[in-house]
Amino acid sequence: MKTSHITVLLNEAIEYLKVEKNCWYVDTTFGGGGHTEQILKRGGKVIAFDFDQNAIKAGEERFKNEIESNQLVLVNKNFTELEETLNSLKKEHSIDEISGILFDFGTSTDQLMNTDRGFSFLGEGELDMRMDQTLGVKAKDLLTLLSEKQLMEIFFQHGGESEAKKIAKAIVSNRKNGVYIKTNKDLAQLVESVKKSRNKTHPATKVFQALRIVVNDELNNIETSLPQAFNSLKKGGRLITISFHEGEDRIAKTTFKTWQEENLATLITKKPVVPTDEAIKENPRCRSAKMRIIEKT
Ligand SMILES: C[S@@+](CC[C@H](N)C(=O)[O-])C[C@H]1O[C@@H](n2cnc3c(N)ncnc32)[C@H](O)[C@@H]1O
Protein backbone atom coordinates (compact mmCIF):
# COMPACT_ATOMS: atom_id res chain seq x y z
CA MET A 1 0.00 0.00 0.00
CA LYS A 2 1.35 3.41 -0.98
CA THR A 3 1.61 6.11 1.68
CA SER A 4 0.23 9.60 1.13
CA HIS A 5 2.32 11.04 3.97
CA ILE A 6 4.91 13.66 3.02
CA THR A 7 7.75 13.32 5.51
CA VAL A 8 8.49 16.53 7.39
CA LEU A 9 12.09 17.78 7.79
CA LEU A 10 13.31 14.62 6.08
CA ASN A 11 16.77 15.71 4.92
CA GLU A 12 17.36 17.77 8.04
CA ALA A 13 16.50 14.88 10.38
CA ILE A 14 18.69 12.42 8.48
CA GLU A 15 21.64 14.84 8.43
CA TYR A 16 21.40 15.49 12.17
CA LEU A 17 21.10 11.76 12.92
CA LYS A 18 24.55 11.33 11.28
CA VAL A 19 23.57 7.95 9.86
CA GLU A 20 26.46 5.49 9.58
CA LYS A 21 26.51 2.19 7.72
CA ASN A 22 25.48 -0.89 9.72
CA CYS A 23 24.68 1.12 12.86
CA TRP A 24 21.23 0.75 14.45
CA TYR A 25 18.71 3.62 14.67
CA VAL A 26 15.25 3.75 16.21
CA ASP A 27 12.36 5.41 14.39
CA THR A 28 9.77 5.57 17.18
CA THR A 29 7.03 6.88 14.86
CA PHE A 30 7.23 4.82 11.66
CA GLY A 31 4.01 6.20 10.02
CA GLY A 32 4.47 6.04 6.24
CA GLY A 33 8.11 5.03 6.71
CA GLY A 34 9.66 8.17 5.17
CA HIS A 35 12.42 8.65 7.75
CA THR A 36 13.03 4.91 8.03
CA GLU A 37 13.46 4.61 4.26
CA GLN A 38 16.17 7.28 4.17
CA ILE A 39 18.09 5.75 7.09
CA LEU A 40 18.01 2.40 5.28
CA LYS A 41 19.17 4.04 2.03
CA ARG A 42 22.22 5.38 3.85
CA GLY A 43 23.11 1.89 5.04
CA GLY A 44 21.74 2.27 8.57
CA LYS A 45 19.61 -0.41 10.23
CA VAL A 46 16.30 0.46 11.83
CA ILE A 47 14.02 -0.65 14.62
CA ALA A 48 10.73 1.15 13.93
CA PHE A 49 7.73 1.47 16.25
CA ASP A 50 4.15 2.43 15.48
CA PHE A 51 1.11 1.69 17.59
CA ASP A 52 -1.17 1.97 14.54
CA GLN A 53 -1.81 -1.54 13.21
CA ASN A 54 -2.47 -0.21 9.68
CA ALA A 55 0.89 1.61 9.53
CA ILE A 56 2.80 -1.53 10.53
CA LYS A 57 0.85 -3.73 8.11
CA ALA A 58 1.58 -1.37 5.20
CA GLY A 59 5.25 -1.21 6.27
CA GLU A 60 5.55 -4.99 6.36
CA GLU A 61 4.46 -5.14 2.71
CA ARG A 62 6.55 -2.21 1.54
CA PHE A 63 9.78 -3.18 3.32
CA LYS A 64 9.49 -6.98 2.97
CA ASN A 65 13.06 -7.40 1.70
CA GLU A 66 14.64 -5.17 4.34
CA ILE A 67 12.77 -7.08 7.08
CA GLU A 68 13.90 -10.43 5.67
CA SER A 69 17.51 -9.28 5.52
CA ASN A 70 17.36 -8.05 9.18
CA GLN A 71 17.97 -4.41 8.22
CA LEU A 72 14.57 -3.41 9.56
CA VAL A 73 12.59 -4.61 12.56
CA LEU A 74 9.00 -3.34 12.73
CA VAL A 75 7.32 -3.21 16.13
CA ASN A 76 3.59 -2.69 16.60
CA LYS A 77 3.81 -1.11 20.06
CA ASN A 78 3.42 2.20 21.84
CA PHE A 79 6.77 3.98 22.16
CA THR A 80 6.10 4.13 25.92
CA GLU A 81 7.39 0.53 25.84
CA LEU A 82 10.62 1.63 24.15
CA GLU A 83 13.30 0.66 26.65
CA GLU A 84 12.00 -2.77 27.57
CA THR A 85 11.29 -3.66 23.93
CA LEU A 86 14.72 -2.48 22.79
CA ASN A 87 16.43 -4.50 25.51
CA SER A 88 14.78 -7.69 24.36
CA LEU A 89 15.28 -6.92 20.64
CA LYS A 90 18.97 -6.21 21.24
CA LYS A 91 19.40 -9.74 22.58
CA GLU A 92 17.29 -11.31 19.85
CA HIS A 93 19.06 -9.52 16.96
CA SER A 94 22.55 -9.27 18.52
CA ILE A 95 22.44 -5.47 18.50
CA ASP A 96 25.27 -3.81 20.49
CA GLU A 97 24.09 -0.24 20.73
CA ILE A 98 21.60 2.31 19.42
CA SER A 99 23.24 5.20 17.52
CA GLY A 100 20.25 7.50 17.13
CA ILE A 101 16.57 7.80 17.98
CA LEU A 102 13.92 9.85 16.19
CA PHE A 103 10.43 10.95 17.28
CA ASP A 104 8.14 12.54 14.67
CA PHE A 105 5.07 13.19 16.82
CA GLY A 106 1.39 13.37 15.91
CA THR A 107 -0.61 11.82 13.10
CA SER A 108 0.31 10.82 9.57
CA THR A 109 -1.54 11.97 6.46
CA ASP A 110 -2.63 8.34 5.96
CA GLN A 111 -4.46 8.54 9.29
CA LEU A 112 -5.89 12.01 8.62
CA MET A 113 -7.17 11.10 5.15
CA ASN A 114 -8.91 7.91 6.27
CA THR A 115 -12.43 9.27 6.72
CA ASP A 116 -13.51 6.13 8.61
CA ARG A 117 -11.19 7.01 11.49
CA GLY A 118 -12.55 10.48 12.27
CA PHE A 119 -9.24 12.37 12.64
CA SER A 120 -10.30 15.28 10.45
CA PHE A 121 -13.43 17.01 9.22
CA LEU A 122 -13.04 15.51 5.73
CA GLY A 123 -15.85 13.21 4.57
CA GLU A 124 -18.02 11.47 7.13
CA GLY A 125 -17.08 8.68 9.52
CA GLU A 126 -17.29 7.63 13.14
CA LEU A 127 -15.59 10.11 15.49
CA ASP A 128 -13.00 7.54 16.60
CA MET A 129 -9.49 9.14 16.51
CA ARG A 130 -7.64 6.20 18.06
CA MET A 131 -4.26 5.80 16.36
CA ASP A 132 -3.91 2.47 18.17
CA GLN A 133 -7.13 0.60 17.45
CA THR A 134 -6.81 -1.41 20.67
CA LEU A 135 -7.26 1.70 22.85
CA GLY A 136 -10.51 1.66 24.83
CA VAL A 137 -11.98 5.14 24.39
CA LYS A 138 -12.99 6.88 21.18
CA ALA A 139 -13.36 10.66 20.76
CA LYS A 140 -17.16 10.32 20.53
CA ASP A 141 -17.14 8.59 23.95
CA LEU A 142 -15.42 11.60 25.51
CA LEU A 143 -18.07 13.89 24.04
CA THR A 144 -20.81 11.65 25.45
CA LEU A 145 -19.36 11.01 28.91
CA LEU A 146 -17.36 14.03 30.08
CA SER A 147 -18.79 17.03 31.92
CA GLU A 148 -19.04 20.49 30.39
CA LYS A 149 -16.09 21.63 32.54
CA GLN A 150 -13.93 18.67 31.52
CA LEU A 151 -14.68 19.23 27.82
CA MET A 152 -13.96 22.92 28.12
CA GLU A 153 -10.59 22.19 29.74
CA ILE A 154 -9.66 19.72 27.01
CA PHE A 155 -10.50 22.15 24.19
CA PHE A 156 -8.68 25.00 25.91
CA GLN A 157 -5.60 23.22 27.26
CA HIS A 158 -4.88 20.91 24.34
CA GLY A 159 -6.27 22.97 21.46
CA GLY A 160 -5.85 26.55 22.69
CA GLU A 161 -9.48 27.02 21.62
CA SER A 162 -10.62 30.48 22.74
CA GLU A 163 -14.30 29.58 22.43
CA ALA A 164 -13.90 26.34 24.40
CA LYS A 165 -16.57 27.21 26.94
CA LYS A 166 -19.25 27.90 24.32
CA ILE A 167 -18.47 24.72 22.40
CA ALA A 168 -18.53 22.53 25.53
CA LYS A 169 -21.82 24.12 26.60
CA ALA A 170 -23.43 23.41 23.21
CA ILE A 171 -22.31 19.77 23.31
CA VAL A 172 -23.75 19.18 26.78
CA SER A 173 -27.00 21.04 26.12
CA ASN A 174 -27.52 18.94 22.96
CA ARG A 175 -26.95 15.82 25.07
CA LYS A 176 -29.72 16.90 27.44
CA ASN A 177 -32.03 16.93 24.41
CA GLY A 178 -30.92 13.45 23.40
CA VAL A 179 -28.64 14.68 20.58
CA TYR A 180 -25.20 13.03 20.64
CA ILE A 181 -22.15 13.60 18.48
CA LYS A 182 -21.28 10.39 16.68
CA THR A 183 -19.39 11.42 13.55
CA ASN A 184 -16.67 13.87 12.54
CA LYS A 185 -19.30 15.74 10.53
CA ASP A 186 -21.59 16.13 13.58
CA LEU A 187 -18.72 17.71 15.51
CA ALA A 188 -17.49 19.93 12.66
CA GLN A 189 -21.02 21.26 12.10
CA LEU A 190 -21.63 21.92 15.78
CA VAL A 191 -18.36 23.86 16.16
CA GLU A 192 -19.06 25.80 12.98
CA SER A 193 -22.50 26.78 14.24
CA VAL A 194 -21.22 27.90 17.65
CA LYS A 195 -17.98 29.71 16.83
CA LYS A 196 -17.94 33.38 16.02
CA SER A 197 -14.32 33.89 15.06
CA ARG A 198 -13.19 32.86 11.61
CA ASN A 199 -9.70 32.55 10.12
CA LYS A 200 -8.04 30.60 7.31
CA THR A 201 -8.25 27.21 9.02
CA HIS A 202 -11.46 25.23 9.58
CA PRO A 203 -13.21 26.46 12.77
CA ALA A 204 -13.09 22.95 14.29
CA THR A 205 -9.31 22.45 13.79
CA LYS A 206 -8.37 23.11 17.42
CA VAL A 207 -11.19 21.01 18.87
CA PHE A 208 -10.20 18.06 16.67
CA GLN A 209 -6.55 18.41 17.72
CA ALA A 210 -7.46 18.58 21.41
CA LEU A 211 -9.62 15.45 21.29
CA ARG A 212 -6.98 13.49 19.37
CA ILE A 213 -4.31 14.36 21.93
CA VAL A 214 -6.49 13.14 24.79
CA VAL A 215 -7.79 9.98 23.08
CA ASN A 216 -4.21 8.88 22.37
CA ASP A 217 -2.72 10.24 25.62
CA GLU A 218 -0.10 11.91 23.44
CA LEU A 219 1.59 14.24 25.93
CA ASN A 220 1.96 11.62 28.67
CA ASN A 221 3.38 9.22 26.08
CA ILE A 222 6.07 11.74 25.16
CA GLU A 223 6.93 12.47 28.79
CA THR A 224 7.24 8.78 29.60
CA SER A 225 9.30 7.84 26.59
CA LEU A 226 11.95 10.57 26.26
CA PRO A 227 13.93 9.34 29.33
CA GLN A 228 13.66 5.77 28.00
CA ALA A 229 15.07 6.95 24.68
CA PHE A 230 17.93 8.68 26.47
CA ASN A 231 18.75 5.52 28.48
CA SER A 232 18.68 3.39 25.32
CA LEU A 233 21.07 5.63 23.36
CA LYS A 234 24.84 5.07 23.16
CA LYS A 235 27.21 7.86 24.26
CA GLY A 236 27.59 10.27 21.33
CA GLY A 237 24.23 9.12 19.93
CA ARG A 238 21.62 11.69 18.97
CA LEU A 239 18.00 12.03 19.98
CA ILE A 240 15.75 14.04 17.67
CA THR A 241 12.18 15.22 18.20
CA ILE A 242 9.88 16.77 15.62
CA SER A 243 6.81 18.39 17.16
CA PHE A 244 3.80 20.11 15.68
CA HIS A 245 2.26 22.02 18.55
CA GLU A 246 3.25 23.85 21.68
CA GLY A 247 2.37 21.02 24.11
CA GLU A 248 4.67 18.50 22.40
CA ASP A 249 7.49 20.97 21.87
CA ARG A 250 7.43 22.20 25.46
CA ILE A 251 8.11 18.69 26.79
CA ALA A 252 11.06 18.14 24.43
CA LYS A 253 12.44 21.62 25.08
CA THR A 254 12.35 21.40 28.90
CA THR A 255 13.56 17.80 29.04
CA PHE A 256 16.54 18.54 26.75
CA LYS A 257 17.36 21.69 28.74
CA THR A 258 17.48 19.70 31.98
CA TRP A 259 19.82 17.11 30.47
CA GLN A 260 22.07 19.86 29.13
CA GLU A 261 22.18 21.61 32.53
CA GLU A 262 23.08 18.34 34.22
CA ASN A 263 25.88 17.74 31.68
CA LEU A 264 24.21 14.56 30.47
CA ALA A 265 23.85 15.81 26.92
CA THR A 266 24.65 18.68 24.55
CA LEU A 267 22.10 20.62 22.58
CA ILE A 268 23.13 20.55 18.93
CA THR A 269 21.14 23.61 17.89
CA LYS A 270 20.17 26.41 20.26
CA LYS A 271 16.99 27.17 18.35
CA PRO A 272 14.71 24.50 16.88
CA VAL A 273 15.16 23.64 13.20
CA VAL A 274 12.07 24.58 11.17
CA PRO A 275 10.99 23.80 7.58
CA THR A 276 12.12 26.07 4.75
CA ASP A 277 9.61 28.38 3.02
CA GLU A 278 9.82 26.11 0.01
CA ALA A 279 8.91 23.03 2.07
CA ILE A 280 5.95 24.88 3.61
CA LYS A 281 4.74 25.87 0.16
CA GLU A 282 4.90 22.25 -0.98
CA ASN A 283 3.36 20.84 2.20
CA PRO A 284 1.49 23.48 4.25
CA ARG A 285 0.84 20.86 6.98
CA CYS A 286 4.49 21.10 8.02
CA ARG A 287 4.34 24.83 8.79
CA SER A 288 4.28 24.41 12.58
CA ALA A 289 7.03 21.75 12.74
CA LYS A 290 9.96 22.23 15.14
CA MET A 291 12.89 19.87 15.34
CA ARG A 292 15.14 19.63 18.43
CA ILE A 293 18.37 17.66 18.59
CA ILE A 294 20.46 16.55 21.55
CA GLU A 295 23.61 14.40 21.76
CA LYS A 296 24.29 12.14 24.73
CA THR A 297 27.66 12.88 26.36
C1 LIG B 1 3.79 12.06 11.92
S2 LIG B 1 3.60 10.35 11.74
C3 LIG B 1 5.23 9.80 11.36
C4 LIG B 1 5.57 9.90 9.91
C5 LIG B 1 6.88 9.25 9.54
N6 LIG B 1 8.00 9.90 10.16
C7 LIG B 1 7.04 9.27 8.03
O8 LIG B 1 7.99 9.89 7.53
O9 LIG B 1 6.24 8.65 7.33
C10 LIG B 1 3.42 9.81 13.38
C11 LIG B 1 3.22 8.31 13.52
O12 LIG B 1 3.53 7.98 14.87
C13 LIG B 1 2.61 7.08 15.37
N14 LIG B 1 2.54 7.30 16.82
C15 LIG B 1 2.07 8.38 17.49
N16 LIG B 1 2.18 8.19 18.81
C17 LIG B 1 2.74 6.97 18.99
C18 LIG B 1 3.10 6.22 20.14
N19 LIG B 1 2.88 6.67 21.38
N20 LIG B 1 3.67 5.00 19.95
C21 LIG B 1 3.88 4.52 18.70
N22 LIG B 1 3.54 5.18 17.58
C23 LIG B 1 2.98 6.39 17.73
C24 LIG B 1 1.31 7.40 14.66
O25 LIG B 1 0.48 6.26 14.63
C26 LIG B 1 1.80 7.83 13.29
O27 LIG B 1 1.77 6.78 12.38
CA distance 72 to 250: 31
Ligand 1 pocket, residues with Cβ under 6 angstroms = 5, 7, 29, 31-35, 49-52, 55, 78-79, 104, 106-108, 131, 221
> How large is the C-alpha radius of gyration of the chain?
20
Which pTM does this prediction carry? 0.96
Which residue is closest in CA terms to ligand 1's atom 13? 29
Contact 243, 104 (CB under 8 A): no
> Distance, CA 217 to ligand 1 centroid (Å)?
13
Q: Strand 72-75: give its sheet, edge to edge.
A: 72-75, 45-49, 24-27, 98-104, 233-243, 290-296, 265-267
The alpha carbon of 27 and the centre of ligand 1 are apart by a number of angstroms equal to 9
Task: Tell me which of 12, 108, 218, 243 to substitute to probe ligand 1's pocket, judged by most ligand atoms within 8 Å of the beta carbon.
Answer: 108
- Please give the distance, rounded to the nearest whole angstrom, from the Cα atom of residue 186 to the centre of ligand 1: 27
Atom of ligand 1 nearest to the CA of 35: 8
Taking the centre of ligand 1 as the mean of its atom positions, its distance from the CA of residue 107, in whole angstroms, is 6
**Pairing relationship of beta strands 45-49 and 265-267 according to DSSP bridges:** unpaired
Domains and CATH numbers, the chain: 10-110+218-296 (3.40.50.150), 136-215 (1.10.150.170)
Helix (H) or strand (E) holding 140: helix 139-145
Q: What is the spatial distance between Cα 216 and Cα 74, in angstroms, rounded to a whole number?
A: 20
Per-residue pLDDT of the chain (297 residues; tens, 9 = 90+): 688 889 999 999 999 999 999 999 999 999 999 999 999 999 999 999 999 999 999 999 999 999 999 999 999 999 999 999 999 999 999 999 999 999 999 999 999 989 899 999 888 999 999 999 999 999 999 999 999 999 999 999 999 999 999 999 999 999 999 999 999 999 999 999 998 767 778 899 999 999 999 999 999 999 999 999 999 999 999 999 999 999 999 999 999 999 999 999 999 999 999 999 999 999 988 999 999 999 999
Q: What's at 115, amino acid-wise?
A: T
